[in-house]
Amino acid sequence: MTELRLTQYAGGGGCACKIPPGELDDLVAALARRDSEPVDPAAELLVGLDGGGDDAAVVRLDAERAIVTTADFFTPVVDDPYDWGRIAAANALSDVYAMGGTPWAAVNLLVWPREKLPMAVAAEVLRGGRDVAHAAGCQVSGGHSVTAPEPKYGMSVVGMVHPERMLRLDAAEPGRPLTLTKPLGSGVLNTWHKATGTVFPEAVAVMAELNRDASRAAVAAGVNSGTDVTGFGLLGHAYRMARAAGVTLAIEAGAVPYLADARSAVTAGQVSGGTRRNLDWVAPHVDFGGVPEDERLLLADAQTSGGLLLAGEVPGYPVIGEVLPRGAAPVVVRG
Ligand SMILES: Nc1ncnc2c1ncn2[C@@H]1O[C@H](COP(=O)(O)OP(=O)(O)OP(=O)(O)O)[C@@H](O)[C@H]1O
Ligand SMILES: [Mg+2]
């Protein structure tokens, strides 16, 4: 199975295959405008699509428990089917952790070109997803499978969160430090892997890593705002946080951690269309000062299964900036 190059069966890879952020904003805004309350709602919506939407929807069960629900699937980011499954599951579970919750149960979402790819390969993908979900203590049972020209895999996940201890997108307070819990660079390294077949084991390990410990540590430290850094890149997700909370996020470029080889990947031109679109979209909202183009691309790099960006200090994870009262630009990068 190792000679089969899964990444060659799809156009965009991983979270870089998301609909561009500006177009998604318009879609979600139109939906939110047309949204009316359900008839006789069975549960109170605590987090919905207001302000562009958070990482997951949250509905109240009782005073101390709320249900978190989310779905994520994408095209192959790596050629190895088991690793792709692990990464896709870690990414799907991540939106529950990005709300400060605990995933309880997941179902598989599988799109498979059965004429082109053996079903045995799909089984490896599902095995990888199951192993990571089980490591998270999450039940996996059931799912849905369809055939289509490009393979896609992910999960729909349900979890639990305390309604007073959530990590909301819109709650960042001025004066708080900004913390990032995984290094950046998975986008450029996945692009390089897709182009050449070179495997970057550190990137695979980081993408397959759960955001569980970071999320728990953040909630334990009293942090109440955060999101996961995925397809819109650090700058895109920072902008969405700043916009939702009406603050400015200042990022110290020199404090941002990167995977080894990420800089060489940019120098080698291994930048996805998604990353370039991210930068075009976010640039009008960012004061870059004198930060050079390559650095801007790295900060906008479309991540797959990235870490948590948190408005608060969390022991064991690097501080990369601070939350400020809203200034001229929602995001400031200091060189
Ligand atoms: N088709 C859709 N219908 C309704 N809402 C959508 C749709 N697609 C995305 N959204 C919402 O738009 C917001 C932004 O979506 P996005 O996929 O970027 O968030 P996310 O789930 O946190 O992503 P990621 O998995 O990359 O962390 C979310 O609140 C999401 O629920
Ligand atoms: Mg998210």
Distance 159 CA to ligand 2 centre (A): 14
Residue 214 pLDDT level (bands cut at 50, 70, 90): very high
Q: Tell me: the pLDDT tens digits for 31-56?
A: 877 667 889 999 999 999 988 899 99
Residue that wins the pLDDT comparison between 179 and 11? 179
Core vs surface per residue 170-183: b (16+ CB within 10 A) or e: bbbeeebbbbbbbb
Q: Tell me: the pLDDT tens digits for 254-312?
A: 999 999 999 999 999 999 999 999 999 999 999 999 999 999 999 999 999 999 999 99
Residue 184 pLDDT level (bands cut at 50, 70, 90): very high
Cα–Cα–Cα angle for 232, 201, 109, rounded to 5 degrees:
55
- The model's pTM is 0.96
Q: Tell me: the pLDDT tens digits for 68-99?
A: 999 999 999 999 999 999 999 999 999 999 99
CATH architecture of 177-334: Alpha-Beta Complex (3.90)
Q: Indicate the DSSP class of residue 157.
A: E
Q: Is the backbone of residue 51 left (phi > 0), alpha (psi -120 to 50) or beta?
A: left
Superfamily designation of domain 6-161: PurM-like, N-terminal domain (3.30.1330.10)
> What are the extents of the domains in the chain?
6-161, 177-334
> Which of 67, 156, 55 has its CA nearest to residue 97?
55
Residue 175 pLDDT level (bands cut at 50, 70, 90): very high
User: From the alpha carbon of 52, which atom of ligand 1 is closest?
Assistant: 13
Residue that wins the pLDDT comparison between 26 and 173? 173
Answer for the pair 299, 251: CB distance below 8 angstroms, yes or no. Answer: yes
Is residue 55 in contact with ligand 1, taking CB distance under 6 Å? yes
Out of 15, 55, 91, 232, give the residue to mutate to test ligand 1, the one with the largest number of ligand atoms within 8 Å of its CB: 55
Q: Indicate the DSSP class of residue 43.
A: S
- Predicted local distance difference test score (pLDDT) of residue 1: 44
- Predicted local distance difference test score (pLDDT) of residue 228: 98
